[in-house]
């Protein structure tokens, strides 16, 4: 049996230990972007077999190929798939240098790792959680239909993650813009009519409100105070858990996803506390996510408002963005 190891040093006073752990975690977050960007750009991928790096790389390459297919059509290239295959790695290199895109894909990869782990270790369906199932059966047709739309989006997410892909329509709006700016740079900022048509099509076909993250946000918001049920991960499922925790704690969803890493236990604990969970409930969720780690000490010394203030003061240097 593996003994849990403590996260906070016992010699620190309880409240200070939690603050120290948060600061240490925030410093680690600040190093993620440069390191991950370097790993993604490595030509010899055999040197870096980590599943997260491979998944992030796969998503960004898939994103690049989607853009290039539209470019091929607009510019009259014969064989859009061949064009996308030939140029995909080069455009992906441009995306690897974007902290915003890399951070978002990293957060999605961590979300999927958590969902897969809970499915293997606790039989929690990564698509249909108990809460989602109950929402689909609601008599309120508005909530039921919203839940069905979110369920379909979550099923697509699971399928895409298994393939290490990221459909362009699932990007938040600011990141679609970021991807297109990087694509312009890839084309040396050429403003030909054909490229303008390609960009116009990419933008006009995009509907952020139909994306999974927007659907989950609306689902959580529509539940009002009932959204607290999503903060029990075995009931809400990983997707709703992350969305609800982001909204309730006032953080970006990407940062909340990053906080599920065991080295970010202090941030996750404070996020749950800021979202309104009692210390014992926070500990229960932490142990569910990291069964071999002891929760940070000092939670009972920090109230909901103070937890939110600590998170705001920490201002984790989102290896990416302040939005969703």
Residue 262, pLDDT score: 84
* Domain boundaries of the chain, sorted by first residue: 14-314
Task: Summarize pLDDT for 280-312 with one digit per residue, the tens.
Answer: 999 999 999 999 888 888 888 899 999 999 998
Note the pLDDT tens digit of each residue in 27-66.
666 655 565 565 665 444 332 337 888 999 999 999 999 9
Q: Which of 145, 212, 160, 176 is nearest to 70 (CA)?
A: 176
In tens digits, the chain (324 residues) has pLDDT values of 334 444 444 344 445 667 777 776 666 666 555 655 656 654 443 323 378 889 999 999 999 999 999 999 999 888 889 999 999 999 999 999 999 999 999 999 999 999 999 999 878 999 999 999 999 999 999 999 999 999 999 999 999 999 999 999 999 999 999 999 999 999 998 889 999 999 999 999 999 999 999 999 999 999 998 999 999 999 999 999 999 999 999 999 999 999 998 888 999 999 999 999 999 999 999 999 999 888 888 888 899 999 999 998 865 544 444 444
pLDDT for residue 4: 41
* pLDDT of the residue at 5: 42
pLDDT of residue 79: 86
Q: What pLDDT was estimated at residue 299? A: 86
Q: Report pLDDT for 252.
A: 95
pLDDT at 296: 84
Task: Quote the pTM value.
Answer: 0.84
Q: Three-class SS string for the chain?
A: CCCCECCCCCCCCHHHHHHHHHHHHHHHHHHHHHHHHHHHHCCCHHHCCCHHHHHHHHHHHHHHHHHHHHHHHHHCCCCHHHHHHHHHHHHHHHHHCCHHHHHHHHHHHHHHHHHHHHHHHHCCCCCCCHHHHHHHCCCCHHHHHHHHHHHHHHHHHHHHHHCCCCCHHHCCHHHHHHHHHHHHHHCCCCCCHHHHHHHHHHHHCCCHHHCHHHHHHHHHHHHHHHHHHHHCHHHHHHHHHHHHHHHHHCCCHHHHHHCCCHHHHHHHHHHHHHCCCCHHHHHHHHHHHCCCECCCCCHHHCCHHHHHHHHHHHCCCCCCCCCC
């Amino acid at each position: 049996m593996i003994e849990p190891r403590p996260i906070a040093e016992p010699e620190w006073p309880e409240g200070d230990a939690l603050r120290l752990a948060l600061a240490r975690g925030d410093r680690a977050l600040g190093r993620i972007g440069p390191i991950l960007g370097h790993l993604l750009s490595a030509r010899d991928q055999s040197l870096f077999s980590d599943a997260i790096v491979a998944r992030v790389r796969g998503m960004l390459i898939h994103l690049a190929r989607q853009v290039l297919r539209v470019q091929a059509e607009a510019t009259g290239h014969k064989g859009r798939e061949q064009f996308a295959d030939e140029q995909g790695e080069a455009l992906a290199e441009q995306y690897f240098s974007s902290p915003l895109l890399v951070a978002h894909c990293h957060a999605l990869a961590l979300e999927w790792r958590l969902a897969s782990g809970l499915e293997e270790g606790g039989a929690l369906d990564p698509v249909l959680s108990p809460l989602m199932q109950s929402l689909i059966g609601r008599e309120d047709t508005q909530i039921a239909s919203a839940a069905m739309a979110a369920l379909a989006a979550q099923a697509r997410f699971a399928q895409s993650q298994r393939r290490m892909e990221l459909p362009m329509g699932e990007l938040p709006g600011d990141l679609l813009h970021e991807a297109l700016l990087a694509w312009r740079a890839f084309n040396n900022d050429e403003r030909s009519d054909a490229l303008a048509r390609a960009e116009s099509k990419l933008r006009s076909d995009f509907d952020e409100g139909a994306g999974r993250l927007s659907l989950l946000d609306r689902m959580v918001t529509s539940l009002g105070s009932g959204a607290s049920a999503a903060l029990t991960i075995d009931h809400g499922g990983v997707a709703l858990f992350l969305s609800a925790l982001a909204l309730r704690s006032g953080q970006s969803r990407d940062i909340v996803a990053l906080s599920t890493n065991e080295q970010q236990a202090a941030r996750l604990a404070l996020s749950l506390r800021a979202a309104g969970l009692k210390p014992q409930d926070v500990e229960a969720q932490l142990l569910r996510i990291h069964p071999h780690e002891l929760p940070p000490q000092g939670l009972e010394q920090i109230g909901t408002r103070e937890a939110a203030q600590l998170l705001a003061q920490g201002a984790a240097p989102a290896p990416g963005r302040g939005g969703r």
